Structure 1
Amino acid sequence: MLRFSVTDFKTSIGAALALGLAVASVPAQAQDDAEVRIRALEAQVRALQRVVFPGGDGRFFEPQVDRGTSSQGGSQAGTPATGAVTDILARLEALETELARLTSLAEENRNDLRGLDTRLTTLESAAEAEAVAETAEVTVAPETTTAVAVPEQREEPSAERVAAVAAIVKPQSDDPGDDEYTYGFRLWDAGFYPEARQQLKIFVRDYPNHPLISFGRNLIGRAYLDDGDPEQAAAWFVENYTSDKTGRRAADSVLYLAIAMIRRNETERACTALGVFSREFAAEAVGRLETLYNTTRERVNCS
């Protein structure tokens, strides 16, 4: 992992440039000190190169100047007094060029890493959705796999039941979609589960884009679960979660899917649903659904 930043580069080159401008007006001893500091900067650049190109790149920075040394290793006679300044400025220019190249490579690396993070997040989300769907690989009647209002085959209700259902008031407001959902909720709350399912399926069919759609699909699953049919309930819980993972009752559907699997003695699938719930809905696990989550976990032994 790269451990340098553009700020570090700018700070180093800024100090080096300031040093080069000061050299022209200082004595020989100060120029010797400048030489030491320039060499230190060059060493830092080489260290950065080793980080960017850990295997060797063949393009490492080398000072592109002639130090004016003779065959005996001493300074050449007749070197102009401005040679030291020229040497420093040339080396600073080379440093600035190399730092710019390293900065560009670092930015490319960051962009590549961001792209990888995005791809990993997408893959993880798809895998989690598939894991939830796999927990409900059950035989489901065609009418319950799609949000349509199909009358359920059941015994003819008694006169007393018909009268009790008729007593449930259907609201009349300026939001007919809300009225349909609220009526289905009232039927479910009163324990009339088949009637509630039929009413809620009408709501889901007629108002697929309503703000309460996630509530509606989830409540159909609840109405099946409360009526002793975890198989059909699981299908609706999966549909609600996979249709909109950000839906306002998506978390409830995943948790109730685990409950449905427990009732079917499907321990492994129940644990899968609980795992997805804890990862994707951590805030709900310690908030609104904390009690239900904890009691559900106590009912199953997940390794």
Structure 2
Amino acid sequence: MRISLIVAMLMAGAAMPAAAQSDLGRRVEKLERDVQAVQRKVFPGGAVQPEIVPQQDVATSGVPATSAVADLTARVDALESQLRTLTGQTEENAYRVRQLEEAFNRYRADMETRLAKPVPQPAEEAPSTAPPTPEPAQAETPAAAADPGEQAYLTGYRLWDEGKYGEAQAALEAMVKKYPKHARASYGQNLLGRAYLDDGKPATAAKIFLSNYQTNPKGERAADSLYFLGQALTALKKPAEACKVYDELADVYPTMRDWVKQRLPKARQDAKCS
């Protein structure tokens, strides 16, 4: 309204009083400062510099007010343009925040659904040379969701079972390193060796199987590691060494579980043991 009045006065040929110019200038400068404050809130990192730069009044006593009004009009136009830009930016930011919130809520709901489901216990892993008949599933274990070591083992197991040997190796290596005293440590080390063996890396697998047997001979999968050590040595064209391993397996673990005992005769036959 004030600017329209000024324009009307100019069109009528009236000169604008210096006091009115000064008052309008102060109000415009205040508006500029308000816009800059909004800019700082919208862009707190300072990535966008304010477009409005306060200017000094150029009108002096005795000089027609036309140039001062033109200057103030340009500054008001710039302020309005900047406010439109800030308003658009604010609306865009709000839209992005809503999108992030919706995506997070979907992710949280999905995770809550997954965690609410009971974690399936893995069936005993079957070697590549195993007969078609699967081995019975392992006994039930405590809820895995409450046991990070168990969960880490199950993660490695699922990756191995899906044939993702590289990812399984990384997951199981992390598991046995972080939980060396866990009840699943022997399982994890043995399955780690199998992940390398199934990945066509028998030399690395042999080292892991031997380590599992030597460092944890009473572990639940120590006997299995001796069996698979023989398998790895056979793959490395070292049948004599494989036969020695199978002999030690029979001597140290005469009560080995049936799953291994049923496969040992064929393993000895493949290595041409006497």
What TM-score do you get using the length of structure 2 for normalisation? 0.47
Who wins on radius of gyration, i.e. which is larger?
A: 2
Relative contact order higher in (CA < 8 Å, ≥ 6 apart): 1
TM-score, with structure 1 as normaliser? 0.43
